[in-house]
Amino acid sequence: MSYLLLSGATVVGASGRQLTDVLIKDEKIDAIGDLDEYLPESVTRVDCSGKFLLPGGVDVHTHIDSPLMGTTTADDFVSGTVAAATGGTTTLIDFAQQLPGEDLATSLEKHREKAKGKAVVDYGFHMCITNLYSGFESHMGELTQEGVSSFKIFMAYRGSLMVNDGEMYDILRTAGKYGAKLCVHAENGDVIDRMARDLVENGQVGPGNHELARPPATEIEAVERAIRISKMAEVPLYFVHLSTDGAVEAVARAQSEGWPIGAETCTHYLTLDRAIYDQPGFEPAKAVLTPPLRTQRHRDALWRGLNTGALSVVSSDHCPFCFDEKRRLGGDDFRSIPNGGPGVEHRMSVMYGLGVAQNRMTLEKYVEVTALNPAKTFGLHPRKGEITPGADADIIILDPKGTTRISAGTQKQNMDYTLYEGFTLPGSMDAVYSRGELIASNGEYVGKSGRGRFIPRIP
Ligand SMILES: [Zn+2]
């Protein structure tokens, strides 16, 4: 048995903070409080005065080692999870993709093999449904029982990933039957495809046109439609990566009518501007991700949505493709640029540095949207997402006086760019513990290889 005492820190939860000690016994949080009288003899002490102790980040939206748009995302489960760990994220839920011609169980098994022995943080999977087949319902039931208790559908990308409205209805009904959660990528894919075609026919083939083919209304319409279908199916759903004011309004309206829609936004929609699409050359391709980056008006609405609770989760949507790979596939036609960008490494730092430190959200809200709510929403709580006795000892020691510098040259993500190049942010992730083990120290990974575990999730 080994004991570790993190002493004198300000421990932060969603409902408040207190100056206290945290005792860790092996992999779990054993006790919190003024513990001096009760300490075992052999305890390792770490002085955390002046620091914040936060629950390790829970990132519920990553695409690691994933086949998408004719290529594969740039991070495997080693680089992707090392990047997560050094940035303060100790649990991931990654998207497993149903592959063409395969059933859900077969595709999940292939993805699971990619993570085994490689991941260094704990992980689970959502299963993307891209093709219905006879018997998909029972597979959804089986996967849910195995702890893969959430699924995802796309309302865009016809011909590869998209399901139609009737299929969405069927999948929702099935998810409801098994107590599984359905994540929805909400964009009107058919209209987007036509807008993109018109741009290309007009000779507008450069990467900045990606934004023009996906105006805010294409997201808002899909969000409103999905909410209506969810009501018809009498099963709630969860929107991934919302980016617009109208989407936040639609979700808030449904919630105020008592319909429990869940919704996330991502680091980049909160913090980055669409101006990158106006840059010359192929530079805009770095932000060819879906939905695209928006204007300040939308960012203001997203921050409001987080602070009022309409949006409850901030994820990274880490879906990395190197700049060269984007050029190789989509240099002549923006429609072929693989859609996605990196983010798992910097979500916690950026949300602290640009959110908490700039007074856009409290530290308590930060804990709520980066750890507690993601864990609760996807069946990981109380094991993950909170510093509380009995939980896994997944803890970040954050120094508010430190700084974090972001650059492609030093990042752990297997990427040749970052959308946060040159950012210097207040706050540093001094130490990251996962199940009681120190896995990252001052931005370097110091844990064992392949130590991450699959965490089955409660439906
Ligand atoms: Zn995604």
Report yes or no: 283 and 259 within 8 Å, Cβ to Cβ: no
- Same domain for 162 and 106: yes
Torsion of CA 23, 58, 437, 395, to 10 degrees: -30
Ion ligand 1, residues whose Cβ is below 5 A away = 317
Residue 411 lies in a domain: no
- Same domain for 92 and 39: no
**Cα(185) to centroid of ligand 1, in Å?**
8
**Cα(42) to centroid of ligand 1, in Å?**
45
Q: What is the DSSP letter of 335?
A: G
- Same domain for 192 and 232: yes
**Cα(63) to centroid of ligand 1, in Å?**
6
- Same domain for 161 and 251: yes
Residue 215 lies in a domain: yes
- Same domain for 41 and 175: no
Which range of residues forms the domain containing residue 392? 3-54+387-402+420-445
**Cα(35) to centroid of ligand 1, in Å?**
43
**Cα(201) to centroid of ligand 1, in Å?**
28
**Cα(317) to centroid of ligand 1, in Å?**
5
- Same domain for 219 and 259: yes
- Of the candidates 93, 98, 95, which has an alpha carbon nearest to the alpha carbon of residue 121? 93
Rounded to whole angstroms, the Cα distance separating 343 from 270 reads 13
Residue 457 lies in a domain: no
Residue 452 lies in a domain: no
**Cα(61) to centroid of ligand 1, in Å?**
6
- Same domain for 200 and 307: yes
Residue 414 lies in a domain: no
**Cα(3) to centroid of ligand 1, in Å?**
39
**Cα(341) to centroid of ligand 1, in Å?**
9
Residue 413 lies in a domain: no
- Same domain for 268 and 280: yes
Q: What counts of helices (H) and strands (E) characterise the chain?
A: 14, 19
Q: In the sheet that 181-185 helps form, which strands lie side by side, from edge to edge?
A: 57-62, 89-97, 122-128, 150-154, 181-185, 238-239, 262-266, 313-315
**Cα(184) to centroid of ligand 1, in Å?**
10
**Cα(230) to centroid of ligand 1, in Å?**
21
Looking up tokens 């490689």 gives 118
**Cα(44) to centroid of ligand 1, in Å?**
40
- Same domain for 97 and 134: yes
**Cα(2) to centroid of ligand 1, in Å?**
39
Which of 377, 412, 437 is where one domain is finished?
377
Beta bridge partners of 440: 432, 445
Rounded to whole angstroms, the Cα distance separating 339 from 289 reads 4
Digitized pLDDT (tens) for each residue of the chain, 459 residues in all: 899 999 999 999 999 999 999 999 999 999 999 988 888 889 999 999 999 999 999 999 999 999 998 899 999 999 999 999 999 999 999 999 999 999 999 999 999 999 999 999 999 999 999 999 999 999 999 999 999 999 999 999 999 999 999 999 999 999 999 999 999 999 999 999 999 999 999 999 999 999 999 999 999 999 999 999 999 999 999 999 999 999 999 999 999 999 999 999 999 999 999 999 999 999 999 999 999 999 999 999 999 999 999 999 999 999 999 999 999 999 999 999 999 999 999 999 999 999 999 999 999 999 999 999 999 999 999 999 999 999 999 999 999 999 999 999 999 999 999 999 999 999 999 999 999 999 999 999 999 999 999 999 988
**Cα(94) to centroid of ligand 1, in Å?**
9
- Of the candidates 265, 294, 290, which has an alpha carbon nearest to the alpha carbon of residue 277? 294
Residue 409 lies in a domain: no
**Cα(173) to centroid of ligand 1, in Å?**
23
- Same domain for 100 and 46: no
- Same domain for 62 and 46: no
Report yes or no: 436 and 103 within 8 Å, Cβ to Cβ: no
**Cα(223) to centroid of ligand 1, in Å?**
16
CATH code of the domain in which 224 resides:
3.20.20.140
CATH code of the domain in which 47 resides:
2.30.40.10
Domain count, the chain: 2
**Cα(62) to centroid of ligand 1, in Å?**
6
Cβ-count burial 346-385 (b if 16+ within 10 Å, e if not): bbbbbbbbbbbbeebbebebbbbbbbbbbbbbbbbbebbb
- Same domain for 395 and 347: no
Residue 199 lies in a domain: yes
